[in-house]
Structure 1
Amino acid sequence: MGKRSVGKSRFLLAKLALLIAAFTAMLLLSLKFDNSIVKFASELQNPLLDKFMLVVTYAGSVIVVLFVLTSLFLWHEHKRKWLFPLWMSLLSSFAVVAALKLVFIRVRPYYIGFPTLKVLVQTQGLLASSFPSLHAAVAFAALPILDREFPRLKFFWLVFACLVGFSRVYFSLHYMSDVLAGAFLGYFIGLAAVRLEEGYGYSNIFSVLKKIFGIKK
């Protein structure tokens, strides 16, 4: 390994450590002010803003994000190899968040009196727990791959992901710490998917599997 590679690796590790430290600090700070933040966000509710935020929060669902981004990558033939990493990052985010919801049983803000819309109320099921936010995890999981393949869309998607996260607090569906934890998990799962593709290549894995099972095409 050359000096340049070592230097690059150290830079990436330093950047990663800085991001983790920043996310951790934000998460700990938000835990202290969770109720105040939800109260402030819910006081912004009005019929016009409700409609906009409702569109945003539905747009941040797993199915919508998968459909939109899959269509984007299919449109560009030379970028289709990133479809598998994209799906893996989004589905892995879903699985990790679902598992954590079973561990951290946290009631959603609207359970303790904060206002929400009846159409959004979720009272039972695996995803009823508040911590962490699945919508935030899925939205931020796509960011590293889009940054890698569609850098011009990075800022747009970052704004969208932040709006999705805020919409969950706005409707009293999550605390800010839920959103930050989901964003943290999703982003680093997406980052891991990018590094795996760059380092090993899922297409190479498929080639090996084809040889093992005798698939010619």
Structure 2
Amino acid sequence: MFHFLYSIDVNLFYFINHSLANPVFDKFFVFITDVNHWYITYIILWFIVFLKGGKIGKIAAIGSIFLIVASDQFSSAFLKNLIERIRPCNQLPDVRLLVGCSGSYSMPSSHAVNNFAIAVYFYRIYPKFKWLLLTIASLVAFSRPYIGVHYPSDIIVGAIIGAVIGYIFSIFVLEIDKKFGNKNIETST
């Protein structure tokens, strides 16, 4: 059974990494996967939420710092070392590698964990941004097998773990907000 699932993962990896390859996607996914391109955007958005989001914005902005530290450490420092899955770029032949191949482990994708944690966290607090947040998280996650550094299952597992972590953290923020009497938050999904 494990061999069968692994063969599906490898075939899906090659489909994403080879069959979908084109110059436009190459540039787009290399750009979107590089966290260095996102820092300024993250900082600006963090300050907007903190300064313009009212009480819930301040709580959410501060909570997001703890969320990223927790999700990143849980995936990078704990789960990857527990699972010890070798990256496809270090294991498979003929990988289209569009960035450097890290020697760190592959499962789960920390890009997927962190982006889905933030996406679910903020969409629970600001539901009107649900599709934008989930689309960005999905594109970042999808970029990982496209550029050759993760199996599809790495990003699926990462997305699930990140969504759970983001959901849990959002519960705390919404409870803190409720405790301080802010009744105007819409939490429908």
Shorter-chain-normalised TM-score: which range? 0.7 to 0.9
Number of aligned positions between the proteins: 171
Structure 1 stretches of 4+ with a deviation exceeding 4 A read 29-32, 59-66
Rounded Cα–Cα distance in structure 2 between residues aligned with 1:131 and 1:69: 29
Name the residue aligned to 1:141: 117
Name the residue aligned to 1:86: 64
Rounded Cα–Cα distance in structure 2 between residues aligned with 1:157 and 1:49: 20
Equivalent position amino acid for 1:40 in 2: F
CA RMSD of aligned residues (A): 2.6
Rounded Cα–Cα distance in structure 1 between residues aligned with 2:10 and 2:43: 34
Bigger Rg, structure 1 or 2: 1
Rounded Cα–Cα distance in structure 1 between residues aligned with 2:88 and 2:153: 12
Contact 1:90 1:190 in 2 (8 A): no
Q: CA deviation at 1:138?
A: 0.8
Identity over aligned pairs, percent: 26
Residues 172 and 165 of structure 1, relative CA distance in 2, 3 Å threshold: same
Residues 1:36 and 2:6 are matched in the alignment: no
Superposed counterparts of 1:159-170, under 5 Å: 159-170=135-146
Segments of structure 1 that go 5 or more residues without pairing to the other structure are: 1-28, 205-217
Residues 69 and 178 of structure 1, relative CA distance in 2, 3 Å threshold: farther
Which of 100, 121, 129 is the equivalent residue of 2:101? 121
Contact 1:86 1:190 in 2 (8 A): no
Equivalent position amino acid for 2:134 in 1: L
Residues 1:100 and 2:82 are matched in the alignment: no
TM-score with structure 2 setting the length: 0.79
Segments of structure 2 that go 5 or more residues without pairing to the other structure are: 181-189
Q: CA deviation at 1:142?
A: 1.1
- Partner of 1:86, secondary structure, is helix
Residues 105 and 62 of structure 1, relative CA distance in 2, 3 Å threshold: farther
Q: CA deviation at 1:32?
A: 5.2
